[in-house]
Every structure is written in structure tokens, then in C-alpha cells.
Amino acid sequence: MLSFLRINRNFRSIRRYLNIVRVLSTYGFDQVLEMLGLADVVARSRRLFSRNIPDIARFSAAERMRLALEELGPTFVKLGQILSTRPDVIPHDFVREFEKLQDDVPSFAFEEVLAQIASELGGPAERFYAEIDPVPLAAASIAQVHRARLKSGEDVVIKVRRPGIVEMVESDISALMALAGLAERHVSGSELYDPVGVVREFARTIRREMDFSREAHTIEKFRDNFIKTPWMYFPRVYWEQTSRAILTMEYVAGVKASDRQKLSENGLDGTLIARRGADAFLEMVLNHGFFHGDLHPGNVMILPDNVICLLDYGIVGRLDEELKTFLTDILSAIVNRDMDEVVSLLLFAGDISDSLDNRALKRDLLHFIDSYYEIPLKEVEVGRMLMEFIEIITLYSIRIPPDLMLLAKSLVLIEGMGRALDPVFDMVAHLRPFIVKALHQKFSPLYISRDINQILSSYLNLARNIPRDLKEIINRINRNKFKIDLEHRGLDKFTAEFDRSINRLSTSMILAAMIIGSSIVLQTDKGPKVMDFPVFAFIGYTVAGLVGLWLVYAIIRSGRM
């Protein structure tokens, strides 16, 4: 049974892979597919599924890719949304276009909701809920949400995973991994962008998002982090009615942070909310190292007494101690206009290319800093400044951690909400105490002693392992087991073209032999005849003619005369 399931999944992945190739070809990305070594697949796909999009030439490449992702479905919409936070991986016009991608999908039937609840919770929905509203509050690519009431009377919302979405996502991931592998083998310079690593990171993100028990634990972790902050509220999770595909949590009635008119009608203070929101986010980032990664206005609710409640915890970012230190150091160096320190930090923390032009990088960074130098600090938008900084360093092929990209985008959203609520909102004023505190901690005796201990421990482990590693290398050399793997990028395409040329040459030689042999038979004038021609000569000429016509057609069709 397991073997059958594996075969079925492989077949589904292959079919999905071919469908991706077809859609990309339809939207005019044949050149990209040829670079991946898929020219033959494209040609076969076009013969089998000929389809043209009218006026496709009027769309830009970024628009065509967005349309292709929308046609390919939920997994690719999610991929585009995640890539929209990665200007270090894709061009900026693609980033702007992918930001338009929305989870615009129809809801699934209420009967499927009940079936999913029964399957996940081990009993009919009536056992766990007094009532469920059959009309969903919202529907997205991965799940949809319904209001409900528990047997004990609490109002809740139920997040139900879309049936079949896991299988579909897994087949899409397999197909994407195959395409990423082709990119690494065939596209020169692709190692700078690590396509397989990007797909692997996307797979990790979307698998976590599909596991609602993880989201429930995330809510609990945020509540624990803000247990002493009375103006932050997090919905209660009902664990008895929660599983990997079902999330039941408290229904929170409030006002969206983006609805300024309702905020005013309810006597809520926009200035106070903006200040609290900024402080809460910076607390998440610089103290907890664990922040909400999808803070658009629809996910921020305001409760009475200006209490902030966050919704939708599917996407979160994490900053370890090293990344938090890097962030505070880089912000401090930018403020002090110390470009040598900025470049040094980038070289230490980022993945860089061998051709990095340090002098040009310093020049561009100085121009960047000078553009902000005359602006009053209260007018500086920290999120946009960080995004511009990232844009500059990505021009030099310096890759930075995805969580830092997510942080920059979240900062832009937070500042946008803050300025909408309070026209004189000053993010720098909120950021300064956190940076000062982080710098004081960095130079405190406790922090320095911890760093020294870590460094000494690392050197001790290195010294301990060197003799063993050297012994292993020497033993491998003595046993002739020492190997060095060399990879020739782009050689597969050359090999395929060489094989095709050899095949054509061999076919031509066989044709020539058939024509010469048939001519000799014709001269002997022996054996059975057809229309006064010897049968074997007639068959030889006929076969040679048909094969010759096929060979000429194939050469003309390939465009390589």
C-alpha cells in the first residue's frame, strides 16, 4: 500500500511539473525554460496543449509571472507572496507585482467543514460545538474561518484547513524542487540566489502554516512573552477542539486598526495605540527575538481601553542573538555614518560573492546615508530606510537572512499604521531606547564574559577535533578512499546537444548506406519486382526517403540549419 501511495504521489508530482512548464510557456517564459534545459518538454507541451493568451505582449514580464502564479493556484500564490518580501532574490518590479497577489479563492462546502472536523477531532461536530455558522467569515487558499459557539457557551472562531490542500502543496513542492535543481545545474550565477534553498525555506514556511497546532502554540508563546503587558491581548486557544487541521480560538470583537472613524466613535486614542503598537513590535524584535510577520491592518484589532489584539499567527519571524546583535550594530553604524563598520558587518554576516566591489559599496552607502542626513529624525521612516538599505546591498549580491527581510517589511507596515493613527508618529523615538539598551547589554561585563566563554569553547572544540579529522583524512588517502567531487555547470546542455548531433550524423550515414545498397540491388535486376523495380531496392528507397524527410523536418523545426 505504501509503495502504491509513493507511485501515485510521484505520478501526481510529474503531472504537476508538466503543468507548470505548460503554464510558464503559455505566458511567454520559453527562454527561461530553455535555460533550464526544458526545450524539448516545451515543444511537446505546445503540441499537446496549444493555447495563447490574447495581447500577452502588452504585459511586462513581472505581470505575466504574476498571472502565471495565479493560474497555477494556491501554493504558487503563497510562493509569490513570500518572494515579495525577498528583494534580495527577485528584481524589484517582480516584488511590486507579487505584492498584488491575494488569496482570492472560493469557500468550500459546509459539509466538507463538518467532515474535516469529524475526521480531525474524532467525532461529529455536534459533540464539540453547540452551533456553527455555515457561512464562513473568510476563505483563503489554505483554510477558511467560521464563527461558532462551544457547548459551554463561549463564542469562538474555527479555522478549518482546506481538504486536499496538503497533498496538492506537497506535489507542488516536489515540482518546484525539481525546477530549482535544474536552475542550479544549468543557470550560471544561480548559486548567488540559492534556488534550492529558497524552495526549501518556502516549503518549511508553508508546512508550518498548514499545521494549526503550531499556530496555536505560537499564540500561547506570544501571550507568555507579554504576560506583564496589560494593553496586549491574545485570543484564548481551546485545545480540546484544536488539531493540526482545526484551530478553535476565542472570538474577539473589536475595531480594526485601519478604521479610524470607528476608533474615534468608540472613544479610542489613535496616538496611544500607535505608541503601544510600536513599543510592542520592538519588544518582540529586540527583546524576544520572536515577532508577528503579517501585521497588515486587518490583523490588528483594538479593544476597549486601547488594548491591542493581534490575529492570524501563521507567519512569524525569529531573530537569534547573533542576528539581533547584527541588527542593532548595523543601525548604530548607519546612524553614526561609519561606512567601514557597515561594510565590515555585511561581510561578516551576509553571503557575498567573490567579485564584491568594496569601494563602490561604500560609495553607494554613503550616498544613501547622505540622503537621510538632513531629514529630521522624527520624519525618518525606519522601515523604508531599512528596505532601501537592503535594496542597495542586494545590488552587490549580498544575501541576508529571510527573517531580516520579513522584519523590514513588517516595520514598513507598522510605521504605516502608526502614521495613519498619529500624523506625528516618530518611530525613531521609539527605537532609540531599545537600541541604547541593546548596546549597553552588548558591552556589559556579563555579555562580554559570555562571548569570551563561547569563543574559548569554539576554539577548544576545534583543537579537540583537528587531530581526529587529520587522522581521518590520512586514513582515507592511505586506503585510496579520498575523493574530490567536481561539478561542471552547464555541461549537461552541451552533452545533450552533442548527443543530438551524433544521432543525426549516424542517421545520415545509415541513410547513405541504404541508398547505396538499394542502388546496387537495382543494378543486379534480380529477385521479385514491383513496377519493374526489385522489391528490396524499392523498400530501401522508400524507407530512406521517409527517414530523410523526417530528418530534414526535425532540423528545420529546431531552427538550427
pLDDT digits (tens, 9 = 90+) for 130-139: 999 999 988 8
Burial 112-143 (b: 16+ CB within 10 A, else e): ebbebbeebbeeebeebbeebeeebeebbbbb
Same domain, 532 and 434: no
Burial 271-280 (b: 16+ CB within 10 A, else e): eebbbbbbbb
Domain count, the chain: 4
- Residue 305, domain extent: 256-443
Q: How many CB atoms lie within 10 A of CB 378?
A: 11
Quick check: is 86 in a domain? no
Same domain, 291 and 373: yes
Same domain, 133 and 174: yes
Considering only 95-99, 109-113, 143-147, which range has the smallest mean pLDDT?
Answer: 95-99
Same domain, 277 and 390: yes
Predicted confidence (pLDDT) per residue in 306-360, tens digit? 999 998 888 888 888 878 877 777 777 766 667 677 777 776 665 565 566 777 8
Same domain, 377 and 402: yes
Q: C-alpha angle 202/204/209, rounded to 5°?
A: 95
Residue after which a domain boundary falls, among 416, 443, 470: 443
Same domain, 296 and 329: yes
pLDDT at 3: 40
Same domain, 457 and 407: no
Residue 63 has pLDDT above 50, yes or no: yes
pTM of the model: 0.72
> Average pLDDT of the chain?
79
Residue 194 among the catalytic residues: no
| DSSP H stretches of helix in 422-444 | 427-442
Place of cell 542586494: 394
Q: How many CB atoms lie within 10 A of CB 492?
A: 13
Beta strands per DSSP E along 56-154: 129-132, 138-139, 143-150
Q: Which one, of 286, 280, 383, lies nearest residue 325 by Cα?
A: 286
Quick check: is 68 in a domain? no
- Catalytic-labelled residue, pool 88, 294, 312, 426: 294
pLDDT at 11: 59
Same domain, 334 and 477: no
Residue after which a domain boundary falls, among 443, 478, 511: 443
Same domain, 190 and 283: no
Beta-carbon-side half-sphere exposure of residue 330 (alpha carbons within 13 Å):
23
